[in-house]
Amino acid sequence: MRGHECYFWAKIDGKMRESDFTSCWGGVMGSMWFWQKEKSTKPRSGTDYPFKNQLIWIDKWKEPETVDYAPELVSIINEITPCEIQGDLIQFLLLDTYRKSYLLLNFIRNLWYEPMPKYTAVFFKSLGPSKKKYSDPLARLTWANIEGCRVPKPTYSPHHCNAMLGWKSMAVRMAKDMKDLKEYPGGLTTEAFLTKQAA
C-alpha cells in the first residue's frame, strides 16, 4: 500500500490531461480549475465547484493487497454514479458537489491507502456481508467503513479518508443511504456527514 496521493486524468477541450496536483482529491477541484479558468468569465472561489457531472479517470490505483476487491467496490459505487474499471484506469463521474464526490472518491482511495492499521482489510471484507444487511449502495459502503473503524483503537484525525475514531469526539456510528446523500448540503464536511445523526 502506498500513500494518500491521488492521480487522475480528465478530458479538457477534447484532450486527456493528467492532474498536476496529486496530494489529495482536492486536485479534482484544483487542477481542473486551473485547466479551465481561462474560459471563466467570473472569478471563482475555493468553494466553487464548476466541474460537476464530468468524468475523471483514476490512475495508479492497483495494489496487490486490494486489487481483487476493486470490481466489487466499483460495482457498488456504479449504483450511485457511473463508475467502471477500464484497464489500468477507473472511470468515475463526478457528482453535483465536491463533497459528495469526495465521499465516494475516498472509498476508492482505500484501494491504495490504508488510513489506519488493519482498517483496509476489514473494510473490503465487509463489502460482501453488507449486501445481506443493506440493498442501498451507500449504506453498504458506509457500513463497511464503520466495521473498518471498529478495529483500530488509537484516536485518528480523518485526513484523506472516511475513517475516523475519536477525532473531535466524532465516530462513525450510522450507515448513510442514498436519501442522506441526496439531502447532503454542500457546505457540510464529510466528517460531519458521516458522524451526524440521520435526518
**Burial of residue 130 (number of CB atoms within 10 Å: 0-12, 13-18, 19+):** buried
- For residue 67, what pLDDT is reported? 97
167 within domain boundaries: yes
2 within domain boundaries: no
Q: Which of 177, 179, 124, 112 is nearest to 148 (CA)?
A: 124
122 within domain boundaries: yes
1 within domain boundaries: no
- For residue 198, what pLDDT is reported? 39
Compute how many other C-beta atoms are within 10 angstroms of the C-beta atom of residue 122: 18
What's the length of the chain?
199
Question: Taking the CA of residue 9 as centre, how many other CA atoms within 13 Å lie in the half-sphere pointing to its CB?
Answer: 15
Q: Which of 180, 168, 50 is nearest to 191 (CA)?
A: 168
- For residue 19, what pLDDT is reported? 83
Domain hosting 130: range is 7-195
- For residue 146, what pLDDT is reported? 87
86 within domain boundaries: yes
SS (H, E, C) 85-137: EECCEEEEECCCCHHHHHHHHHHHHCCCCCCCCCHHHHHHHHHHHHHHHCCCH
pLDDT in tens, the chain (199 residues): 888 899 999 887 788 988 877 878 876 766 665 566 555 544 444 455 556 788 999 999 999 999 999 999 999 999 999 999 999 999 999 998 888 888 999 999 999 999 888 889 999 999 999 999 999 999 999 999 988 888 766 555 556 888 875 555 556 667 899 999 998 876 777 877 887 753 3
168 within domain boundaries: yes
* Nearest-angstrom CA–CA distance, 149 and 164: 7
102 within domain boundaries: yes
**Burial of residue 5 (number of CB atoms within 10 Å: 0-12, 13-18, 19+):** middle
Cell of 11: 478530458
- For residue 48, what pLDDT is reported? 52
pTM of the model: 0.86
Query: Could you give the number of structural domains in the chain?
Result: 1
Question: Taking the CA of residue 4 as centre, how many other CA atoms within 13 Å lie in the half-sphere pointing to its CB?
Answer: 16
Sign of the Cα torsion 23, 29, 30, 35 reads positive
73 within domain boundaries: yes
